Amino acid sequence: MFKAIVSAATLSSTLDSVSVLVEECKIHLDEDGLQIRAVDPANVGMVDLSLSADAFESYEADGGLIGIDLSRLEDIAGMAETGQLVQLELDEETRKLQIQIDGLEYTLALIDPDSIRQEPDIPDLDLPAEVVLEGRDINRSVTAADMVSDHITLGVDDGEEYFYVDAEGDTDDVHLELTEEDLIDLQTGPAHSLFSLDYLKDMNKAIPTDAEVTLELGEEFPIKLHYGFAEGDGQVTYMLAPRIQSE
């Protein structure tokens, strides 16, 4: 069984963080909250999300698994006004999700979870550098880099102790340095990797500007981006594989 009431804003944030990578996902409805894990079809980007029962107005579940079409559910959640509550209830008989928003009832057909791509195993990454910064700084970096290139280099200068962003275009370049004073926290280590902006732009869209985001980086290694939402009751970790740098 599954029956929950949640604010429209929390529901939307949850769905948006996953839909940047995939169109369908499985949701584990555990007793203490829900879990979503998904990898994009090309195996380049991954999301691992949990939303604790505390983020809900009320929450009852007993370990079920459902498959949903994300954009459908996002559209429905979008019908709610800010601050409105959304009630979700799983009809076990019909395998449909009953959604109520202030008198509006919507019955959403679920997707057979077996038909959705298998959930990935989270790669075990031990990354030497850690940068903690505000969502707005990621937004600034990505937006600037996108003006000149399709890729972005993220790195940490081990000696000088700063985090940097590089993007090289055909004619124009972008460079940004953030020292310890600009950052919330910095643990230096050898880090320098190139990433596709296509993916980072999408992930950036889901990251709230006032969120505290932890980046973990290495040398030509995947990046991990971690942030909390719903007042800390929700946690998202993105992982993104680097581009291979020739030479």
Partner 1 sequence: MQYGELTAVYDRLEATASTLEKTEILAETFADAGDLLPELSLLARGRLFAAWEPDELGVSSSLTVEAIATASGLPDERIEEWWREEGDLGDAAALAVENRVQATLVSDSLDVREVYETLRGLADHEGAGSQDRRVGEIAGLLGDSDPDEARYIVRTTVGAMRLGVGEGTIRDALAAAFLDGEEDAARAVERAYEVTNDFRTVSETAREAGREGLGELEIELFRPIKAMLARKADGLEDALGGTERPVVEYKYDGMRTKIHVREGEVRLFTRRLEDVTAQFPDVVGAVEKEVGSDRAIIEAEVVGYDNGTPIPFQEFSKRIKRKEEITELAERYPVTVHAFDLLYDDGSLLESPLVERLDRLTEVLEPEGTVRRAENVRPDSLEAAKTFYEDALAAGQEGVVVKNPEAPYRPGSRVGYMRKVKPTMERLDLVVVGAKWSEGRKSDWLGRLRLACFDDERGELREVGRLFSGLTDDELREITAKLEPLVESAEGRAVTVRPEVVIEVEYEEIQASETYDSGYALRFPRFSGFREDLGPEDADGFERVRELYDDQHRTEGA
42 touches partner 1 (CB under 8 A): yes
Tell me the C-alpha distance between 217 and 143, whole Å.
20
Report the 10 Å Cβ neighbour count for 136. 14
Cα-Cα-Cα-Cα torsion 223, 55, 25, 96, nearest 10 degrees, comes to 180
Which one of the spans 4-12, 128-136, 158-166, 236-244 is the region binding partner 1 (CB under 8 A)?
236-244
- In angstroms, give the least distance from the CB of 54 to partner 1: 30
Residue span 111-150 as binding mask against partner 1, x where in contact by CB under 8 A, dash where not: ------x--xx-x---------------------------
Tell me the C-alpha distance between 182 and 21, whole Å.
30
Q: DSSP alpha helices (H): ranges in 69-196?
A: 70-77, 135-148
Choice between 222 and 234, CB closer to partner 1: 222
Which one of the spans 60-68, 141-149, 154-162, 233-241 is the region binding partner 1 (CB under 8 A)?
233-241
In the numeric block, which tokens belong to residue 39? Answer: 């990898």
43 touches partner 1 (CB under 8 A): yes
36 touches partner 1 (CB under 8 A): no
Which one of the spans 35-43, 93-101, 141-149, 179-187 is the region binding partner 1 (CB under 8 A)?
35-43
The answer to whether residues 60 and 10 touch, using CB atoms and an 8 Å cutoff, is: no
Tell me the C-alpha distance between 155 and 84, whole Å.
41
44 touches partner 1 (CB under 8 A): yes
206 touches partner 1 (CB under 8 A): no
